[in-house]
Structure 1
Amino acid sequence: MIKNDRQYRITKTQAKKLELSLQMLHAEPRETHPLLIRAQEEALTSQLDELKEELKEYKELQAGKYKFHYIFKNIEDLPENLIKARISAGLTQKELADKLGMKEQQIQRYEATDYRTASYERLINIIKALNIKLDRGILHKEDKYSIEYLLRKLKDIGIDKDFVFNRLVHPRYRFKDESLLRKDKEEDNFILQIVSSLRNIFNWSESDILSETPLELDSLASTYANFKIPEGAQKSRLSAYIVYAHYLALLVLDATSAVAKSQIPDDPLRLRESIVEQYGDEFSLKDLLKHFWELGITILPLNDPGAFHGACWRINGRNIAVLKQSTLSESRWIFDLLHEYYHLSQEQNEEQLAIIEDEPDSPERLQSDEEMYASQFAGEVILAGKAEDLAQKCVEEAHGKVEWLKKTVPIVAVREKVAIDALANYMAFRLSFQGINWWGAANNLQKTDMAPWAIARDFLLERLDFKKLNEMDQNLLIRALTD
């Protein structure tokens, strides 16, 4: 809420900027998918409406429209209503401070923190100065189901605050924090949305979520039953985010049911031949995405930080690959997509398959033969079956010195007529299995003039039939595909 004239002026300026942003959103031609534009518009409109409501409320309080000389019965109301009572009484922060024999800055600090730093005695003095009657017992009421309580409980299970605000609730809450959700209706709606989303994703009951009992992922053993974890990985790595990603994968498969199942080539040169036949030697990420979709492989791109690097599932015979990284390198996305393809090309007679990928230099991946085969497969497709030969030429050109590879990899790539960034990625992979981390040098040799995540996202949006999902699941998926 607005607490003084300075904040009123700032809020008024913010509202004008939002109005301008909305006008630009409507006026400028956009290539972004209509669903994402709608989500942006809803978020901006909602934020603008709330700013206008705050501006209106502040003026009405100043005009003395509301009176606050009644008994407050709810502790949740107290901080906001102390501020409202001051404004309604026509007192500035300085004038209230003078009545209490305090400095203006102290009242400003109290109000900025919703009186969380004020002692019990100080609160009573402020209440008396504002001529408010209060049942003192409410100051000791346990606030078991507050937003803070719920966020702390979720953090304990691996679900952080940013994830809650960005992925689990309506976009209008994205620009808020707990202090802006104090109004009963806002807090209740916010908690209700979290509970509804969690219930769908994790199969927790409302009592599980709101009770004092800690939440557990172990109860979701059925979700993990078919997970095929690379050798060396620990069960504890199956974090809350993996369950969320698995749920999104199920939604995407439901919304792309028109994509047919099919057998896919498990030989790198056969796969390359089929790609080159359609798109030529220098195929792009778009070409690869189109080819894989035609093979019945659904691609879900995510861009949340942490948790895992990539994943792939086969669910009732249908294949889906999840790519999750923030790099702008098209070559790296192609490499990782082909890496996941390898996993999906294995054991095709099995109806169920699941693999969760850690970071490329993690001990789990470096100790896994299957991960090595997957990366070799990707390199052979990209480098036309010459990956190992080219890697050896780079080593020879560098006289076996790792520090020289940054110069010799481009030399070999140009001479052998292959992409520099593609060869750099393969060299980084090969060196990682020797305990040498060369990914930083490889990253410096990448072209980063594209937006691979958005490209993969738009491919998915064009193929999704949202009508096959209920409204809550539609919103969950749209939020997941919003950057």
Structure 2
Amino acid sequence: MIKNERQYRVTQAQAKKFEEALAQFEGNLDKRQEVHPLLWTAQRDALQSQLNELREEIEEYEALKSGQHTVLELESLEELPLALIKARIAAGLSQKDLAVRLGMKEQQIQRYEDTEYASASFTRLIEVSQALGIKVREDVFLPNAQVSLNTLFGRLKQVGIERDFVIKRLLPQSLLGNLQADDISEDQTGSIALRASAIVNRIFGLAPATIFSSSPLQLNTASLATVRFKVSKGTDEHRLSVYTLYAHFLALLVLDATFNLPKKPIPTNPNEVREAILSTYGSLTFKHALHYLWSLGVPVLPLNDSSAFHGAFWRVEGRNVIVLKQQTKSAARWLFDLFHEQWHAAQEPELEERIVVEDSETNDERWKSKEELTANRFSGHIILAGRAEELVELCQKEAKGSIERLKNIVPLVAARENVSVASLANYMAFRLSLQSENWWGAATNLQTEDTDYTDPWQTARDFLLERANFGRLNEVDRNLLLQALSDI
């Protein structure tokens, strides 16, 4: 957002340059004929989008200065940093004016606003709020003695929200930088704890007043009431619930950011799926499968955190989103999982809401479900051209019943039958799991050749980054989604 007159003038100049660039781009008919229509449209839309964002910032700043917008009362802390800046502008105060009220230097206010008060202490946030006349509910700013990072992490751990998860996925980078500073004060850590609690509240529905009290904490898992968990009995239920709520929150953000995707029926015939991909894209790869799912209106959210759950799909108000979460870089494994989740997404299309959350491949409980078996056979049929079961039989026949020999036989059969050894190994591991044989380690070793090129997680992440409209999300949500898509 625009924070002062200098930035206002700079943004006006930038907007004028984009207006001129857009007019020149649209008027260059010779250049337009040389470029593919889709590429030309994408380039024009990119210019228009940037121009629109600049215009919106200008309009917001002008509206604040004119007194059209006022900041009256805050219900939570998460929007406080931007609210402080907007309140100053709406009050007709310059950064220098606010500094005078607080007995500070103008440069300090500039630094605070440049970082959206990330470096401000707990006490300073209250002082700025009071100087601007912002009314904040009493339970938003809690007594300072109760607010600390140790209290925050200790309380959250009771419901399965671990410290590392909060730092890695929830804390904005600006706050994280301050947290790692050597000279951070106790008051500043209190401010960080309060800001972090506001983000936790946004995702998990745990209000700061509740977190920093002595009353028992309990996650609200109502949104998971219809989840069809395909997980083992030994799964940590707290951790599973926490990560599922987090992934559900992100899935909703993805659906919002991809609101304009077409909504098409999802085929359940594996031959139809395979033929559609081959005829449209020329080959059956993970990237082409992503193209195909997105063309059906199904966005794919890739996550790379360890454990909790393995993969999931959500249907919300009739729209589907697939979540893939693998630690391996094998494109064959990611491709298999993608079609597996497609099968789930295609089931019971008459239902407006549907969820499936799944554990890893090594979980025996997962394969006792008829839907899981069908989803895996659906995936194998597509990838191995309808020959999945035939190829398994060939491998088992040539191995003469020896599971140990399969690690040598599978590559030989794959080469002879002209199929991917990584994909055949993946399907063989699934089939052996039906006999309570864990062959996933051997399959992973045979998939090393499949990891020499692009990282499947990065491929799916880039797809999402290119196609999502992050401008539809508020700043807090946008940062949370982008952090989930970071490779830290």
What TM-score do the two structures reach when normalised by structure 1? 0.67
> 3-state DSSP class of the match of 2:356?
strand
Equivalent runs, 1:31-70 vs 2, <5 Å: none
Q: Give the Å deviation of 1:439.
A: 0.5
> 3-state DSSP class of the match of 2:315?
strand
Task: Tell whether the 8 Å contact from 2:178 to 2:184 is kept in structure 1 after alignment.
Answer: no
Equivalent runs, 1:281-430 vs 2, <5 Å: 282-430=283-431
Task: Tell whether the 8 Å contact from 1:232 to 1:368 is kept in structure 2 after alignment.
Answer: no
1:35-69 alpha-carbon deviations (Å, 9 max, x no partner): xxxxxxxxxxxxxxxxxxxxxxxxxxxxxxxxxxx
Task: Tell whether the 8 Å contact from 2:147 to 2:190 is kept in structure 1 after alignment.
Answer: no
Q: Give the Å deviation of 1:143.
A: 5.3
Map of 1:230 onto structure 2? 230
Q: Give the Å deviation of 1:151.
A: 0.6
Task: Tell whether the 8 Å contact from 1:181 to 1:187 is kept in structure 2 after alignment.
Answer: no
- Decide whether aligned partners of structure 1 residues 361 and 412 sit closer, same or farther in structure 2, where only a CA change above 3 A counts: same
Task: Tell whether the 8 Å contact from 1:413 to 1:420 is kept in structure 2 after alignment.
Answer: yes
Distance 1:154 1:425 in 2: 38
Mapped pair 1:478 → 2:474:
no
1:376-405 alpha-carbon deviations (Å, 9 max, x no partner): 111000001110010010000100100000
Task: Tell whether the 8 Å contact from 1:303 to 1:325 is kept in structure 2 after alignment.
Answer: yes
- Decide whether aligned partners of structure 1 residues 438 and 198 sit closer, same or farther in structure 2, where only a CA change above 3 A counts: same
Distance 1:186 1:292 in 2: 46
Distance 1:202 1:176 in 2: 24
- Decide whether aligned partners of structure 1 residues 181 and 422 sit closer, same or farther in structure 2, where only a CA change above 3 A counts: farther
| Residue segments in structure 1 that go unaligned for 5+ positions in a row | 1-75, 77-140
One-letter amino acid of the structure 2 residue matched with residue 452 of structure 1: P
Task: Tell whether the 8 Å contact from 1:198 to 1:204 is kept in structure 2 after alignment.
Answer: yes
One-letter amino acid of the structure 2 residue matched with residue 390 of structure 1: L
Task: Tell whether the 8 Å contact from 1:208 to 1:215 is kept in structure 2 after alignment.
Answer: yes
> 3-state DSSP class of the match of 2:229?
coil
1:272 aligned residue (250, 274, 283): 274
2:456 aligned residue (452, 455, 460): 452
Q: Give the Å deviation of 1:206.
A: 2.0
Distance 1:189 1:231 in 2: 38
- Decide whether aligned partners of structure 1 residues 252 and 464 sit closer, same or farther in structure 2, where only a CA change above 3 A counts: same
Task: Tell whether the 8 Å contact from 1:313 to 1:355 is kept in structure 2 after alignment.
Answer: yes
Q: Which is worse superposed, 390-399 or 183-192?
A: 183-192
Distance 2:254 2:305 in 1: 17
Map of 2:212 onto structure 1? 210
One-letter amino acid of the structure 2 residue matched with residue 374 of structure 1: A
Distance 1:257 1:466 in 2: 11
CA RMSD of aligned residues (A): 2.3
Distance 1:231 1:336 in 2: 16
1:232-279 alpha-carbon deviations (Å, 9 max, x no partner): 768936421110100000011011101121111011111111111112
1:315-367 alpha-carbon deviations (Å, 9 max, x no partner): 11111000111211111110111111111111111111100010111133032
Distance 1:317 1:439 in 2: 35
Distance 1:195 1:325 in 2: 29
| Residue segments in structure 2 that go unaligned for 5+ positions in a row | 1-121, 123-142
> 3-state DSSP class of the match of 1:444?
helix
- Decide whether aligned partners of structure 1 residues 176 and 429 sit closer, same or farther in structure 2, where only a CA change above 3 A counts: farther
- Decide whether aligned partners of structure 1 residues 175 and 393 sit closer, same or farther in structure 2, where only a CA change above 3 A counts: farther
- Decide whether aligned partners of structure 1 residues 240 and 180 sit closer, same or farther in structure 2, where only a CA change above 3 A counts: farther
Task: Tell whether the 8 Å contact from 1:358 to 1:364 is kept in structure 2 after alignment.
Answer: no
Map of 1:463 onto structure 2? 467
Task: Tell whether the 8 Å contact from 2:289 to 2:335 is kept in structure 1 after alignment.
Answer: yes
Equivalent runs, 1:10-25 vs 2, <5 Å: none
Distance 2:204 2:327 in 1: 26
Distance 1:413 1:178 in 2: 51
